Structure 1
Amino acid sequence: MWMYLGLLAALFLGLHNLCKKHAVQGNDAFSVLFGTLITGFFLFLPLFLGSKYYPEELQTIDLFVSDISIKTHGFIIIKSMIMASSWVLAYQALKHLPITIVTPIRSAGPFFTFIGAILIYQERPNFLQWIGFFLIIFSVFLYSKIGKKEGINFKNNKWIYAIIGATFLGASSGLYDKYLIQSLELNPPTLQFWFCTYTMLIIGLVVLIMRTTNPNIKGTFKWRWTIPMVGILLQTADYFYFKALQDPDALIMLLSAIKRSQILIAVVMGGFIFKEQNKRKKMVPLVGIMLGVFLILYS
């Protein structure tokens, strides 16, 4: 069951990436990110309030926000700081790079998760899983070659380093999620509500500092309908992802790889919607990434 929940998370993440690309075009990335987090906060606020007055009803439908200790709040704040850093880097990179380059680089996230799962959780891959992960990494390398034809030099472009850093932090957060869900036994709505709350405060502070110290970005924010949609789609994807992690048999290394199937939506649909270059050539490494994911699932 947890694999099917992972595929649902991938579907909503793919749609989330398309909306995110539209939201940040010609826009202040930090303000867009802040707007999506506000959306996520208000999406879960009724559940938080409802859990105080109608706990049994919300427990029945798995949307109950439980009370947690101060120590647990500290653990969630750590996750918020990791993901806030990852998102700031990713949003800035997405604003300056084609989605068909950004998304495949992000697909290398399972490799970092793969290593962490072995070292931290002692998850043991088999032969096909090894092949699948390295096939994904090799396919990402092919994307770098295609990216140079679009005027993107992977060695000198700072946004490439930004998206790589965002990918590493995102993978670290994924490993941390397993601890929060399985070891601390947090249910998805509780984790999502407090995570949105703390991350919204962190990013809100970043936006305030940026707009106070840098007059050039004032007036650069434009409202778009895709801004709240990014928040809604992301929280929906996270809900299914966290539900999958609640299964004690779920392997974070495989779940992370399953989520990479979101690139099918981002590369195929995003390439046509945003009129990006070299769509046919990008299909070759795309097939490689999808084959890598298939080998992991098949194994």
Structure 2
Amino acid sequence: MWMYLGLLAALFLGLHNLCKKHAVQGNEVFPVLFGTIFSGFLLLLPLYFGSLFYKDSLLEMHLYIADIPWQTHGFIAIKSAIMASSWILAYQALKHLPITIVTPIRSAGPFFTFLGAIIIYQERPNFLQWIGFFLIICSVILYSRIGKKEGIIFKKNKWIFAIIGATFLGASSGLYDKFLIQELTLTPQTLQFWFCWYTVLILLVILAITWFPYKVKRQAFTFRWTIIAVGVLLVAADYFYFKALQDPEALIMLLSAIKRSQLIIAVVIGGLVFKEQNKRKKLMPLTGILFGVFLILYS
């Protein structure tokens, strides 16, 4: 069952990436990121108040947001700091790079998760899983050569380093999620609500320094409906992902790989929507990535 929940998470993540590309075009990254997280927080806020006043009803619907100790709040705040850093880097890179370059680099995330799962959680891959992960990495390298044809020199482009950093932080957060869900026994909605709360606070501090004091930046900001859509889709994706992690048999390295099937939406449909270059050439490494994911699932 956890694999199907992972595929649902991948579906919402693919749609999330398309909306995110539209939301950041010509916009300041920080207010867009704040708008998306705040939208997700507002979506979860009724569950919080419902948990205060209608506890039994929310428990029956499995949507109750539980009371947690201060130590657990600290653990969630750490996750918020990790993901805020990852998103800031990723949004900046997405603003300056084609989605068909950004998304495949992000697909290297399962490799970092793969290593962490072996070292931290002692998850043991088999032969096909080894092949699948290395096939994903080789396909990403092939994308770097295609990127040069679009004027993107991977060694000299700072946004490439930004998306690589975002990928590493995102993978670290994925490993941390297993600890939060399985070791601290947090429910998906409890983790999501407090995660959004602390992330909103972090972004408010950043905006107070980099955006609110500057009238020119505020006037240049354009609100788009996709800002709200990104927040809603992210909440949906994370909910199914955390539900999958609740299964004691769920393997974080396989879940991370399953989520890469979002590439079908982000690269194929995104390439058509945003009319980016070399779409046909990018299909070959995309096929390699998807085949790597298939090998992992098949194994």
Letter in 2 for 1:46: P
* Alpha-carbon distance in structure 1 between the residues aligned to 2:166 and 2:39: 22
* Alpha-carbon distance in structure 1 between the residues aligned to 2:213 and 2:57: 47
Q: Map of 1:172-187 to 2, 5 A cutoff? A: 172-187=172-187
Tell me the residue number matched to 1:70.
70
Measured after TM superposition, the shift of residue 218 of structure 1 is 3.4
Tell me the residue number matched to 1:14.
14
Q: Map of 1:67-106 to 2, 5 A cutoff? A: 67-106=67-106
Tell me the residue number matched to 2:228.
228
* Alpha-carbon distance in structure 2 between the residues aligned to 1:216 and 1:134: 47
What SS is found at the alignment partner of 2:211? helix
Measured after TM superposition, the shift of residue 217 of structure 1 is 2.7
Q: Any idea what the Cα deviations from partners look like across 1:226-279, whole Å, max 9, x if unmatched?
A: 000000000000000000000000000000000000011000000000000000
Q: Any idea what the Cα deviations from partners look like across 1:83-116, whole Å, max 9, x if unmatched?
A: 0000000000000000000000000000000000
Letter in 1 for 2:227: I
Tell me the residue number matched to 2:114.
114
Q: 5+ unaligned residues in a row in structure 2: which ranges?
A: none
Letter in 2 for 1:203: L
* Alpha-carbon distance in structure 2 between the residues aligned to 1:123 and 1:67: 31
Give the TM-score of the pair, scaled to structure 1. Answer: 0.99
Measured after TM superposition, the shift of residue 215 of structure 1 is 6.1
Tell me the residue number matched to 2:266.
266
Letter in 1 for 2:97: L
Deviates more, 1:219-228 or 1:247-256: 219-228
Q: Map of 1:267-282 to 2, 5 A cutoff? A: 267-282=267-282
Measured after TM superposition, the shift of residue 212 of structure 1 is 5.0
Letter in 2 for 1:171: A
Tell me the residue number matched to 2:218.
218
Tell me the residue number matched to 1:44.
44
* Alpha-carbon distance in structure 2 between the residues aligned to 1:29 and 1:211: 10
Tell me the residue number matched to 2:136.
136
What SS is found at the alignment partner of 2:83? helix
* Alpha-carbon distance in structure 2 between the residues aligned to 1:39 and 1:104: 27
Letter in 2 for 1:95: K
Measured after TM superposition, the shift of residue 62 of structure 1 is 1.4
* Alpha-carbon distance in structure 1 between the residues aligned to 2:215 and 2:101: 31
Tell me the residue number matched to 1:127.
127
* Residue 157 in structure 1 maps to residue 157 in structure 2: yes
* Alpha-carbon distance in structure 2 between the residues aligned to 1:221 and 1:128: 48
What SS is found at the alignment partner of 1:288? helix
* Alpha-carbon distance in structure 2 between the residues aligned to 1:60 and 1:212: 43
- The number of equivalent residue pairs is 299
Letter in 2 for 1:29: V
* Alpha-carbon distance in structure 2 between the residues aligned to 1:42 and 1:215: 26
Let me know the Cα RMSD of the aligned residues. 0.9
Tell me the residue number matched to 2:54.
54
* Alpha-carbon distance in structure 2 between the residues aligned to 1:191 and 1:160: 31
What SS is found at the alignment partner of 1:219? helix
Measured after TM superposition, the shift of residue 216 of structure 1 is 5.3
Quote the sequence identity (%).
74
Tell me the residue number matched to 2:196.
196
Letter in 2 for 1:99: I
Tell me the residue number matched to 1:3.
3
Measured after TM superposition, the shift of residue 220 of structure 1 is 2.0
Tell me the residue number matched to 1:239.
239
* Alpha-carbon distance in structure 1 between the residues aligned to 2:42 and 2:262: 26
Q: Map of 1:161-172 to 2, 5 A cutoff? A: 161-172=161-172
Measured after TM superposition, the shift of residue 213 of structure 1 is 6.2
* Alpha-carbon distance in structure 1 between the residues aligned to 2:143 and 2:216: 34
Tell me the residue number matched to 2:248.
248
Q: 5+ unaligned residues in a row in structure 1: which ranges?
A: none
Give the TM-score of the pair, scaled to structure 2. Answer: 0.99
Tell me the residue number matched to 1:288.
288
Measured after TM superposition, the shift of residue 214 of structure 1 is 5.7
Q: Any idea what the Cα deviations from partners look like across 1:48-107, whole Å, max 9, x if unmatched?
A: 000011111111221110000000000000000000000000000000000000000000
